[in-house]
Amino acid sequence: MFTALSTACGGASNPGLVPNDAAIGDELVATVTPLEIEGAWDQDVNVGAMVRLKLGENRARDLILPGDAGVKIPAQRVAVGAWDGGAFVSAITHGEARVEITLDVVPDASGAPLLGIGEQWQNDTPLAYFRDEGADGTTTWNVIQSGVDTGIGIMPTLMMARNGRIAHIVSIWLDEGDSFAYRETTQNWTSFNGQWEGSHPILSVSEEGAFSTKDSATYWLSPYPTDFSTDQGSLPRAQILDALPFISATAFAEMSREDKRQDDGGPGNLTVGGPDDYLFVDYQTEPTTFTANDTGLSDSADTGSQDSDSVAAPTCGERSLSGKKEASDTAEPKVEKDTATADDTGVIGTSAFYFVIDACVNGEWISSTNGYPTDGGLTDTTLSGVGRAAIELPPGTDATDVTNLRLKLTQRGAGLVTARWFHLGEDFLPIELGALETQQFSGLKGGAWSLMESR
């Protein structure tokens, strides 16, 4: 272990010892523990620090340490490549920081992509990887960035409505055992024919916000993957942020720096709110069979048949001083723009399950769409499958003011639904407010059920 200290950019390198048990060809991982980082991520200058790590003749790796964003940054691990017998050196190349660094032999660091970025390292910054193992034996590497607005043009408010996060999570590398592919566009995989450093493919962030095989960049990142899995798609990818709260804090701070955040500003505009302004909903849905007599009531998940106690259309009311909720059956979503065009006729049978989620606050339904459409296109905010939504709440309210929560179909459908809802604490960790165990819902377009009253 040794300490690297910098009082200015370009601090001197600090030689370190490779572990005594290391052999030529072993994959090594550097653990960098921040002790002090100058600056703040929401500022225009002095936003944080960068540590450069170089093992032998391998390409130098860069580790970006965001300045203060309200949450302490834990130790960061970097895959520095296979040992070739050379020395390990480090330097603080940007900003001021004091860190402790150790080196360990970690065999499964093999395959970690080397990801190149340009000079603007403080925007849409790649901060972590995680791997997903597929049922077919494939491994997908995913990167988490502090933002998403550069390149692919998705507004942060749309990202919050659609994915319940500002941080961008995207799959970049697919290991199929005997072949490899990378995410050349946001939609398509392309067979990899680029350069390697040992077992590490060389990629770079493209101008379009996807990735390329260009072997040219200003900085090279290779974080060791965080221990997280979506369990083959059964968990929302956003749940990794619950294990890495500093990334959520960094993302909100970046929105402040870019003048795209207005705390307590309310829904329906192009600025994100503060972390206290949202109710988050994690959902897991699975389409089931739609039958001729499905009209919009909830079914029993245990029997699959219509239940005599099926929940009627959920009500929305204000909480009175006595704590009693005064119902308002006609309240409509304040910012919902429900323009779904799918009709409710056609063949009865296996159905898709598409929906939005509304929160009742002060007698009004507030939609997860945040004013975006639900009729297709690049800005569609229809929800389906497994994911996370974030509902921005009105000024002067927070998640504890929500008196009801409903799921509303944007086209005819049937499906099993499991959900939990929460808000973020000061440490950016979830504080759960409620949950719904698996239930069956089915109905026509516009059918709605209370996730709270259905429990």
Q: Greater confidence, 360 or 311?
A: 360
Q: What's the N-to-C CA distance of the chain in angstroms? A: 53
pLDDT over 50 (residue 7): no
Q: Which long-range contacts (CB under 8 A, 24 or more apart) does 288-292 make?
A: 288/350, 288/351, 288/353, 288/414, 288/415, 288/416, 288/440, 288/442, 289/349, 289/350, 289/351, 289/414, 290/348, 290/349, 290/350, 290/351, 290/412, 290/413, 290/414, 290/442, 291/348, 291/414, 291/442, 292/348
Tens digit of each residue's pLDDT (9 = 90 or more) over 222-244: 999 999 999 989 999 999 999 99
pLDDT over 70 (residue 295): no
pLDDT over 60 (residue 338): no
Share of the chain above pLDDT 90, in %: 71
Tens digit of each residue's pLDDT (9 = 90 or more) over 200-223: 999 999 866 689 999 989 999 999
Q: Greater confidence, 149 or 248?
A: 248
Q: What is the pLDDT of residue 152?
A: 56
Q: What is the pLDDT of residue 35?
A: 96
**E-state strands within 265-375:** 278-287, 289-290, 298-299, 316-319, 325-328, 349-350, 355-361, 364-367
Average pLDDT over residues 96-119: 96
The mean pLDDT value of the chain amounts to: 86
Q: Which of 92-96, 333-337, 428-432 has the lowest mean pLDDT?
A: 333-337
Residue 6 — pLDDT band, cuts 50, 70, 90? Answer: very low
Strand order in the sheet with 168-175: 126-133, 139-145, 168-175, 180-183, 189-191
Average pLDDT over residues 309-314: 55
CA dihedral sign of residues 373, 377, 381, 382: positive
Q: What is the pLDDT of residue 315?
A: 87
Q: Greater confidence, 77 or 186?
A: 77
Q: Which of 142-156, 231-245, 290-304, 418-432 has the lowest mean pLDDT?
A: 290-304
Q: What is the pLDDT of residue 347?
A: 44
Return the bridge partners of 319, or none.
325
The four Cα atoms 131, 133, 138, 142 give a dihedral, to 10 degrees, of -20
Residue 127 — pLDDT band, cuts 50, 70, 90? Answer: very high
pLDDT over 50 (residue 384): yes
Smallest CA-to-CA distance from 143 within 258, 247, 53, 30 is with: 247
Instruction: Give this prediction's pTM.
Output: 0.88
- Report residue 279 CA to chain centroid gap: 15
Q: What is the pLDDT of residue 150?
A: 53
Residue 311 — pLDDT band, cuts 50, 70, 90? Answer: very low
Q: Greater confidence, 164 or 444?
A: 164
pLDDT over 60 (residue 280): yes
- The token duo for 60 is 């130098």
Query: Which residues make Cβ contacts (< 8 Å) with residue 178, sequence separation at least 6?
Result: none
pLDDT over 90 (residue 301): no
Average pLDDT over residues 319-338: 41
CATH fit for domain 1-110, picks 2.40.50, 2.60.120, 4.10.320, 3.40.1130: 2.60.120
Q: What is the pLDDT of residue 349?
A: 55
pLDDT over 70 (residue 270): yes
Q: What is the pLDDT of residue 84?
A: 96
Q: What is the pLDDT of residue 350?
A: 54
Domain boundaries along the sequence of the chain: 1-110, 111-258, 275-450
